[in-house]
């Protein structure tokens, strides 16, 4: 037993010795590797502190006036800025996108630009910016998908609109967005003379989302689709 313990201790000592020898022989390599890791960490920290954060702040300043116009429903000024303003920050969403597109404000500007173009009846431009938007929150990606459907529907592309509406309905089955997406899909199916699918959508709103503000209207739409 004592012999086994002694042998085990000898093995441990040997391992430690070999480890120490390895470190001694490769000390320069190890130190340079640690230094390289520190350089990368410090570089990331520096980029975030001295580049990313100031850039985010400038983007937030740049978008402020445009979002004021957006909230007021002045979509032209929101998109292009106000050339009559003396405010140096009175630039439009499109300029914010060009200069700060990768920032949070720039990404938000893409979403809002899509809405602006949709309201102005410029549907291809609306789709262009909606396609560029990649939100990470729960609701805006769903709204963005629904608005793609609106832009396609306004151009008479009902098949494309239905795809967007159905995708939006399945992205987040909440009582706020899902029933509206299903309802819009149902209307497009009616326009395409696919009454069976229209009824399916309307019944889904009625049965799956009784808390929706659309609930009370579904019987009328179901009856219309069945008689059509």
The strand pairing partners of 91, in sequence order, are 81
Give the phi and the psi of residue 91 in degrees, each rounded to 5.
-110, 165
Confidence band (pLDDT; 50, 70, 90) for 42? very low
Structural domains of the chain ordered from first start: 135-228 (1.25.40.10)
Per the CB < 8 A criterion, the answer to whether 206 and 219 are in contact is yes
pLDDT at 86: 55
Q: Which residue has the tokens 């890791």?
A: 37
Q: Cα(197)–Cα(225) distance, rounded to whole angstroms?
A: 9
Q: 3-class SS at 92?
A: coil
N- to C-terminal Cα separation, the chain:
94
The Cα angle at residue 103 between residues 119 and 92, in degrees rounded to 5: 40
Q: Cα(81)–Cα(59) distance, rounded to whole angstroms?
A: 15
**pTM of the predicted model, to two decimals?**
0.75
Tens digit of each residue's pLDDT (9 = 90 or more) over 62-117:
899 999 999 999 999 999 997 665 555 578 999 999 999 889 999 999 999 999 99
The number of helices, as runs of H, and strands, as runs of E, in the chain is 12, 0
């Amino acid at each position: 037993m004592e012999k086994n313990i002694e042998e085990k201790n000898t093995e441990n000592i040997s391992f430690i010795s070999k480890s120490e020898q390895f470190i001694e022989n490769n000390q320069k390599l190890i130190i340079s590797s640690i230094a390289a890791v520190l350089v990368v960490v410090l570089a990331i920290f520096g980029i975030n502190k001295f580049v990313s954060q100031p850039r985010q702040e400038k983007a937030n300043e740049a978008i402020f006036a445009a979002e004021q116009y957006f909230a007021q429903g002045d979509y032209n000024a929101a998109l292009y800025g106000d050339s009559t303003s003396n405010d140096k920050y009175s630039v439009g969403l499109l300029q914010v996108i060009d200069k700060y597109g990768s920032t949070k404000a720039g990404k938000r500007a893409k979403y809002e630009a899509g809405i602006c173009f949709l309201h102005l009846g410029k549907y291809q431009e609306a789709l262009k910016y909606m396609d560029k938007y990649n939100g990470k929150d729960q609701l805006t990606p769903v709204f963005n998908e629904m608005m793609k459907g609106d832009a396609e529907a306004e151009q008479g592309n009902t098949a494309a609109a239905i795809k967007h509406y159905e995708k939006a309905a399945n992205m987040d089955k909440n009582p706020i967005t899902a029933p509206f997406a299903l309802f819009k899909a149902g209307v497009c199916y009616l326009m395409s003379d696919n009454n069976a699918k229209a009824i399916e959508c309307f019944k889904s709103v009625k049965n799956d989302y009784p808390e929706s503000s659309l609930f009370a209207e579904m019987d009328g739409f179901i009856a219309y689709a069945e008689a059509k």
